[in-house]
Amino acid sequence: LWEGRTLLLLAVALALALLVRAVAIVRPGLDQRWLARLAPWMPFAIRLHLGIALAGLLSGGYYLAPAMEIGKNLVGWLLGIVVAVSALLLLVGWHTKVGAWLLIAAGPLGMLEFGFEAILHRVDLLGLALFLVLAGPGRWSADFELGRAREPGLAEVGRAIWALKVAVGSALISVAVSEKLANPELARRFTDEQGVDFNVGQALGLPLADTEFIRIAGAVEVLFGLLIISGALPQAIVLIAGVPFNLTLYFFGTNELLGHLPVYGAMLVLLVYGSDPVLRPLCSKLVPPSAEAKPVGKRRMPRRLRS
């Protein structure tokens, strides 16, 4: 990790993230009203992405990630029950915040079985769960239909977006550092086991060794993490980052899809909110807005976003 080339790549990633943020000051994004109209349903989208991911992983015998295989013992059963109840509550939208808090608790509980690093790699789930705690279950939920939930205000949405992007970006960075930059041999063994050669540099005729390609891939993943945390130019960042994420699905299949579903959910939120001139500034805040912050204050979502 502390080799000169790796540090140089990390410096380039940080510089590019700062450059994108500077560009966003002049050109923050494009207004896309057809996407902005989906804003009230983003909690619903997050619930679906979380619930399906958790249920799919659990059906395959996994905890919060394909790398966490649940043991056939009492501890495994208890962990599985926590995930199952959380997934069910989130999918239905019934006592949604209870389901979200269960998922948050699943992190520390999982550390007892799988260790700190494995759970750290799934800190993106924490961000999505906090999004639901802060923004509520949204429309098309049992809580909303029963009158137990309401439309979130702009301040609540702002805090929810902040928690979401910080957690998801941190997850991408932690995986990139631990599995690629700090230990490129681990990434090489993984691709060898899958029988896949991702070194597109060599395919293009470039003299790029596997280790160097892994370092570059790790730096790119760090860049995506920094850009998501920044939240600047959310539309462009989501569309660009979606390319490598989707390409890996072809090689790794269902487990990779289930593991990435929460990230896709977060990217959808940034894409939709980033398409609205009122909500876009919330995506790029580096600190969570307070209830008194302007233009957030105690205003509610514009009527056209609630129709």
Domain boundaries, the chain: 4-305
Give the CA count within 13 Å in the CB-facing half-sphere of 143.
Answer: 25
Is residue 92 within 8 A of residue 56, CB to CB? The reply is no
**Closest residue by Cα to residue 288 from 123, 154, 150, 90:** 154
Radius of gyration over alpha carbons of the chain, in Å? 20
Q: Which pLDDT score, from 0 to 100, does residue 249 have? A: 74
Q: How far apart are CA 177 and CA 225, in angstroms?
A: 11
* Neighbour tally for 278: CB within 10 Å: 19
* Neighbour tally for 38: CB within 10 Å: 18
Task: Tell me the pLDDT tens digit for each residue of 39-67.
Answer: 999 999 999 999 999 999 999 999 999 99
Q: Counting Cβ atoms within 10 Å, is residue 49 exposed (0-12), middle (13-18) or buried (19+)?
A: buried
Q: Counting Cβ atoms within 10 Å, is residue 98 exposed (0-12), middle (13-18) or buried (19+)?
A: middle
Q: How far apart are CA 130 and CA 138, in angstroms?
A: 14
Q: Which pLDDT score, from 0 to 100, does residue 198 have? A: 65
Structure tokens at 93: 């939208």
Please give the chain's pLDDT, 307 residues, in tens.
567 888 999 999 999 999 999 999 999 999 999 999 999 999 999 999 999 999 999 999 999 999 999 999 999 999 999 999 999 999 999 999 999 999 999 999 999 999 999 999 999 999 999 999 999 999 999 999 999 999 999 999 999 999 999 999 999 999 999 988 888 777 677 666 666 666 666 666 676 777 888 888 899 999 999 999 999 999 999 999 888 777 777 667 788 889 899 999 999 999 999 999 999 999 999 999 876 544 333 444 444 444 4
